[in-house]
Structure 1
Amino acid sequence: MSDRTYAALIPARGGSKGIKKKNIVDVAGKPLIAHSIEAAQQSDTIDDVVVSTDSQEIADVAAEWGASVPYLRPDKLATDEAPTEPVITHALEHESADEWTHVVLLQPTSPLRTGNDIENAIATFEQSSGTSLVSVFEDHSYRWEETSNGAIRKNYQGDRKRRQDKSPEYVENGAIYITKCSEFLKTGDIQAGKTILYTMPQKRSVDVDTHFDLWLVRKLIHRLNGQNDTG
């Protein structure tokens, strides 16, 4: 992998509404964003850990925890409606990204994702012929859609089996994305080209969006910390 440079990019805007100052709220004695910074630092394959933010307060916290914050993101890339792809493009346009061949996007709202998850995701990607990767968890639920003509089955017909016997679907968990920079710059799509899945356990797939999510990760993190848990 000597010809590849993997940079962890952590996007963390300051204007969260559901949870005030969400990206730096306390989780197990650390700012939320610190868990993602530390996970990236624990990965031997990550060459650079960069935080993209519009907030000087978040920038100061990120720097305190050892991340690089080479710029502040412009306000237009930090609105509720701003997608992730322009944030990656903005990062790749900065001179500090000249040597990057791959971006590993780590959302700070996934504090249960570990350094081993990042290493294993990169290894999964390296062993494939893919140009992008997305982390997921398995789901065996039976899903329905409500329509004006009544509810309809979404992922099964008349073959309802026990949940454990049902073929899984895969739910994007927001924890890890890998994209090849050259492919991303051609398409502007974080899941450009051939996308590979990296499966994580559901218990490490909580994405902090609501106060309930925050309560849940605060409970889980104490149970999961210190466990050499791969499943």
Structure 2
Amino acid sequence: MNIVIIPARGGSKRIPRKNIKDFCGKPMLAYPIQAALQSGIIDKVVVSTDDQEIAAIAQQYGAEVPFLREPELADDYTGTTAVIRDAILRLQQLGWSLDSCACLYATTPLLNANLIRALQQELITTNADYVFTAARFSFPIQRALVLTETGGIIPFDSTSIGKRSQDLQPTFHDAGQLYWAKAATWLDLSKSVFGTHSRLFELPSHLVQDIDTPDDWRRAEYLYRLLQQESA
């Protein structure tokens, strides 16, 4: 069975209730659920939440909530991998036979069904531990600047500050959207999402947007509407 697990706790601080806040006419959580179901390769979409309202909205849009997450796994410090491992173990205890499992974040309205399929295919063809979405830094991080305690400026990397951008190694960051792996890989504590046996799937910058502040939210809405216009 191939499944998607969406972590969606109720205690968002910077944008309260952002997992179910209205985004262009639907609760934010509806977008990843619908994208996963439309991909045609997902047997079940599971939402891991500690919140009854989030659970009800998840079920309304076609996801399953076979359990409520324990409070100690829904605080500000618990990492996503621990939440996914908990979900897999609980589903296995319920008798689910799991093969590939994708972690799909709740605030990913720019992600679509095609990308979900493409990343799963990348996992199959490369036999990587994990495949995840990533984006290229638009400016060379080797030429970053930092402030001193007295307000002055120094290069973050003095050996690279004078080099041309095209002479510096490209760098990437996690897009915070989608992570595919075998269920057994998620449960293997010796394997890291960002390890040498993982693969990144590069996305263009217009498909990547963290949503942590009101400004982030507005920009995500602008991008979403533009993408909808292009596909119309």
If the length of structure 2 is used for normalisation, what is the TM-score? 0.87
Answer whether contact 1:179 1:190 (CA < 8 A) is retained: no
CA deviation profile, 1:84-120 (whole Å, cap 9, x unmatched):
1221121112234731122100001121111111111
Q: 1:85 aligns with which of 81, 88, 94?
A: 81
Quick one: structure 1 residues 140 and 221, their matched pair in 2 at CA, closer, same or farther if it must change by over 3 Å? closer
**Separation in 2, partners of 1:132, 1:10:** 16
Displacement over 3 Å in runs of 4+: 147-150, 153-158, 226-229
Q: 2:49 aligns with which of 49, 53, 61?
A: 53
1:213 maps to amino acid:
D
Deviation of 1:226 (Å):
5.6
Answer whether contact 1:132 1:194 (CA < 8 A) is retained: yes
Structure 2 partner of 1:170: 172
CA deviation profile, 1:56-81 (whole Å, cap 9, x unmatched):
00000000000011111011111111
CA deviation profile, 1:23-65 (whole Å, cap 9, x unmatched):
0001110000000101101112212100000000000000000
Answer whether contact 2:7 2:47 (CA < 8 A) is retained: yes
1:1-231 → structure 2 map (5 Å cutoff): 5-94=1-90, 95-96=93-94, 98-143=96-141, 144-146=144-146, 148=148, 150-154=153-157, 156-161=160-165, 167-187=169-189, 191=193, 194-225=197-228, 227-228=230-231
CA deviation profile, 1:143-179 (whole Å, cap 9, x unmatched):
31426595224493532146xx865321111111112
State the secondary structure of the residue aligned to 1:224. helix
If the length of structure 1 is used for normalisation, what is the TM-score? 0.88
Answer whether contact 2:155 2:161 (CA < 8 A) is retained: no
Answer whether contact 1:15 1:79 (CA < 8 A) is retained: yes
Quick one: structure 1 residues 186 and 131, their matched pair in 2 at CA, closer, same or farther if it must change by over 3 Å? same
Aligned sequence identity (%): 31
Over aligned residues, Cα RMSD in angstroms? Answer: 2.3
State the secondary structure of the residue aligned to 2:29. helix
**Separation in 2, partners of 1:92, 1:34:** 22
Answer whether contact 1:33 1:109 (CA < 8 A) is retained: yes
User: Any unmatched runs of 5+ in structure 2?
Assistant: none
State the secondary structure of the residue aligned to 1:99. coil
Quick one: structure 1 residues 147 and 105, their matched pair in 2 at CA, closer, same or farther if it must change by over 3 Å? same
Answer whether contact 1:85 1:189 (CA < 8 A) is retained: no
Quick one: structure 1 residues 207 and 135, their matched pair in 2 at CA, closer, same or farther if it must change by over 3 Å? same
**Separation in 1, partners of 2:23, 2:95:** 30
**Separation in 1, partners of 2:95, 2:46:** 10
